[in-house]
Amino acid sequence: MSKHTEIRRITAPDIAARKGKEPVVCLTAYTAPMATLLDPHCDLLLVGDSLGNVVYGFDTTLPVTLDMMIAHGAAVVRASDRACVIVDMPFGSVEEGPAQAFRNAARVMAETGASGVKLEGGVHMAETIAYLVRHSIPVMAHIGLRPQSVHVMGGFKTQGREKSQWEALEADARAVAEAGAFSVVVEGVAEPLAVKLTEEVPIVTIGIGASAACDGQVLVVDDMLGMFPSNPKFVRRFAEIGKEIETAAATYAKDVRTRQFPAPEHTYTMKK
């Protein structure tokens, strides 16, 4: 029996059932090696369009394509056994309406084997979310700071720090819940509002730059591993892997230049 038949993968309904219970552990994953390492510890692996920044070096997520998301999503699914895998719908893949969104989301589901998709937007995306759910595609919503709307929002700005903003964000949360989303990412939202949203909506809230009171948390894995010189305020660096890589590369370069590597134990001898 293969390992893939021994372990039951967590599903979108399993995540939905965690409302108000043990917090959902979520990290982004973009590659097979990383997915293998994270899978035993995470309930949900998010193949985020943040790969545009992290993997490809773009300034925003806007250049990310559907084909890129499918390639990375498939890699993460292949390399994992346990976690629910959700793939971001990139900019331009759902905005035209429910029919376009379904065609593209169906490709993601069929070509990656993922458990569902994530799309940004609240009230204005409710009709699309409902259409996808009716057509058997589990949807994770995303409200608050929406990276795909960075130009409209005037940059990466925290949302809900003024009470005048609360009504619209609460309406977004209610709309995606009523449309059938199984969970919602709440990003870059003032902590008191994140608490209120979590208490008011019946679906799982996944916080990032929000509140510990959310039903779960997500971080960009490269951020929490310390792969970049600096991070947003809401990121805790759980390791400093970037510095370790720099040190290893410097040691390797030194040993190559001084001909200490490869040593005899790293080379092959002739057969007798």
Question: Per-residue pLDDT for 151 more than 70?
Answer: no
How many angstroms separate the CA atoms of 116 and 37, rounded?
A: 21
49 is in an annotated binding site: yes
How many angstroms separate the CA atoms of 106 and 123, rounded?
A: 22
Query: How far, in Å, are 51, 87, 93 from residue 246 at the CA level?
Result: 21, 31, 37
Would you state the pLDDT for residue 69? 98
- What is the 8-class DSSP label of residue 157? -
Range of the domain at 164: 3-240
How many angstroms separate the CA atoms of 263 and 67, rounded?
A: 43
Question: Per-residue pLDDT for 235 more than 80?
Answer: yes
Does residue 245 fall inside a structural domain? no
How many angstroms separate the CA atoms of 17 and 176, rounded?
A: 17
Q: Are 131 and 98 in contact (CB under 8 A)?
A: yes
Does residue 246 fall inside a structural domain? no
88 is in an annotated binding site: yes
Question: pLDDT band for position 3 (50/70/90)?
Answer: very low
Does residue 231 fall inside a structural domain? yes
Looking at the 3D structure of the chain, how many domains does it have? 1
Does residue 96 fall inside a structural domain? yes
- Mean pLDDT of all residues belonging to the chain: 94
Question: 5-15: per-residue pLDDT in tens?
Answer: 578 999 999 99
Does residue 77 fall inside a structural domain? yes
CATH code for position 230:
3.20.20.60
Question: pLDDT band for position 74 (50/70/90)?
Answer: very high
Would you state the pLDDT for residue 155? 56
How many angstroms separate the CA atoms of 68 and 56, rounded?
A: 10
222 is in an annotated binding site: no
Question: 181-227: per-residue pLDDT in tens?
Answer: 999 999 999 999 999 999 999 999 999 999 999 999 999 999 999 99
Does residue 26 fall inside a structural domain? yes
For the chain, first and last CA: distance in Å? 42
Does residue 223 fall inside a structural domain? yes
Does residue 258 fall inside a structural domain? no
The HSE-up count of residue 177 (CA atoms within 13 Å, CB side) is: 18
How many angstroms separate the CA atoms of 61 and 7, rounded?
A: 33
> What phi, psi does 118 have (nearest 5°)?
-120, 140
Question: pLDDT band for position 146 (50/70/90)?
Answer: confident
Question: pLDDT band for position 2 (50/70/90)?
Answer: very low
Active site residues: 187
Would you state the pLDDT for residue 145? 87
% of the chain beyond a pLDDT of 90: 89
Count CB neighbours of 51 within 10 A.
25
50 is in an annotated binding site: yes
